[in-house]
Every structure is written in structure tokens, then in C-alpha cells.
Structure 1
Amino acid sequence: MKKIFPLAVLLTALSTACLAADDTEKWYEYDHLYFHAGTYIHYSSSKDHDGPNLFGALEAQKSNDWLYGLALFDNSFGQFSQYLYGGKTWHFPDDWENFHFKLTAGVIHGYKEPWDDKIPFNSSNGWAPGVIPSLGYKKNGFGGDIIFLGNSALLFTVGMDF
């Protein structure tokens, strides 16, 4: 398990490199910021679930639909956690153009003992790679997403550009 941290760093580096797919843009340049916040619900209840199910994230979104961001949340077990990620958004065609599919990849930190086995590939110091898909709707700078958190939960967010 201690070998997972380099894998997580490599995964983040690869996603960041993809953000600069257009040679005329630098990876850190972005079109606008998008803030979204929400709450999650578990597929099944557990007496181990603790604390508020609150989530907040700030994304830098690029005109070529690549993005990068940082999410802050208390995990299901009341531990402060973070997700540093890069990703891409794909828009649905024609009459569905305001709907999108988003896929992000990065590193998750914060799942520590005794809950360190609750996410795959978690290292003993609380770092794990993450790949997270979502479906959403966005129009005139306001949006909402349903984010699929593996076989554990659904995260519902609302957000806005600024």
C-alpha cells in the first residue's frame, strides 16, 4: 500500500498535463472559476457515518472544457478530507447542450485509521488516487451536478461561475 502515493502523484501529473492539450494555453490559464457546494447521501446507512455531509469545491474551467480544482469536505466518518483533481467536461449535443458529463481524476487525502480501508488503494498516510464521474446541467453560469462516489454515495451540488 505504501507504493500507492507515487501512483497518485503520477495520476495527478498526467491529468494536469492533459489540461494543457492546446499548445497555445498554459495549464494554469482558465476561462472562469466555478464554485459548487452540496451534500451527499449514502446508498446504505451505517452507524459509523459521522458528521455533516457537506462538500465545497472551486474549479478553474478552461474554454476547451478541461478543468482543475480542489474539493474540501468531511468524509463519511467525520474526517476532514480533500480532493485535488483535473478533468474534462463533455457536453451533450443539440437540444441537450446544457447537459454534460464530467470525469475528474486526482488524489484524495483524509481517509485515515480506522477508516483507511474505505476507499480503494488508500495508503497508510491517507492518500489515494480517485476517478470521479458526474452528470450535470449548466446554463447562464448556474449549474447542478449529480456526482457518483463509487459504490458508497451520491453527491448533489449546485454552483455558479464567477
Structure 2
Amino acid sequence: MKRSPRCYQPWLVLLLAMPFLPGSVSAELFQKGDKVHLQLGGYVHYRSSNDYEGPPLLGNIELNKKSNWLYGLSLFNNSYGDFSQYIYIGKKWELPQIYQPLQVKLTGGLLHGYTGRWKDKLAFNHNGFAPAIIPSIGLKKGRWATDLILLGDSGLLFTIGYDVIE
């Protein structure tokens, strides 16, 4: 049974609203030099399998701290067509000594949405929840960024993003 994305909208609304909360909550959450980055999944390549449905829809919001720590939420249709979510914390490393716009990210968090007949497709999956570690490599120029994200041993996702709040 597929779940409607509407039941998860409160999480997205809360995350989007956090930088605008009054008082000390927003002062501690969003500081000078921090950025809010939105990403859209543009293209995904899966290793060949008859089980995969495509293309997934991906939307991501990320709070990038000046310290290069990041916090985010991804909402997407997984490779089997089920609505899924990934909430995470991570670190970004900029590598200007190699190539000026090059950056690498490593995130870890909680993935939800692999249920029913797909529950065994993720290691450590319990009731649709599983831990995840996701690396990516990308280029950032000004407020724009592109990333190539490694999806376990199953696929690659290409995203494009923009810093909506600086």
C-alpha cells in the first residue's frame, strides 16, 4: 500500500519554517554565514534490475552551517516507486587545492520508506526505518551546485541545487 506524500508535509513545513522562528530558537539555528540549500534530483542511474521503477522524484532542503556541518531532509520516490524520506546530518569538505569548485559531502541519518515486499532491500531495516550513510561529490559555483550522489551499490543520482537563503 502506497502512502500519500501529504502525511509527511508537516515535517517539510516545519523544516522550511525553522530559520524564520522568532527569538533564540532561530538565532541559534541560523547564524551569519549559514545557508539554506534546495536541491532537485535531475537524473538517476540504477544497475539493471526488473524491480526498479523510474524516474524518482527528489526534493531536498539542507541547512549548511558556516562550519561546513549540514542538516537536511530529502523527500523522494525510491527506486521501487514508494514515497520515502531521509533525515540526516553530515559534513562538507571544500577542495580548492584540487579544483576550486570541488566539494565532497558525507551524510548519515535515518531512511524511511522501504516497506512491504521491499523491506529486505535495505540492511538493518526495521518497520521501514534503516540507518544510511550517503557520500557525494560535486561542484559549487556561487549559489549553484551540482552533486553526484552514490546510492549504495544500486545507483547514482545527479542533483542540481541553489542557496535560497544566505
TM-score between the two structures when normalised by the length of structure 1: 0.79
The runs of 5 or more residues in structure 1 that have no matched partner are: 1-24
1:90-109 maps to which residues of 2 (within 5 A)? 90-94=93-97, 96-109=99-112
Q: Paired residue for 1:29? A: 30
1:40 to 22, 38, 44: 44
More helix, by proportion: 2
1:58-137 maps to which residues of 2 (within 5 A)? 58-94=61-97, 96-123=99-126, 125-137=127-139
After the TM superposition, which segments of 4 or more aligned residues of structure 1 sit over 6 Å from their partners? none
> Shift in Å at residue 50 of structure 1?
2.2
> Shift in Å at residue 48 of structure 1?
1.5
TM-score between the two structures when normalised by the length of structure 2: 0.77
Assess if the C-alpha contact under 8 Å between 1:107 and 1:129 holds in 2.
yes
> Shift in Å at residue 113 of structure 1?
1.2
Aligned residues: 135
Q: Paired residue for 1:12? A: none
**In 2: Cα distance, 1:90 partner to 1:41 partner:** 25
> Shift in Å at residue 55 of structure 1?
1.2
**In 2: Cα distance, 1:80 partner to 1:54 partner:** 9
Query: 1:127-158 deviations in whole A, cap 9, x for unaligned?
Result: 00000000000011101000001100001000
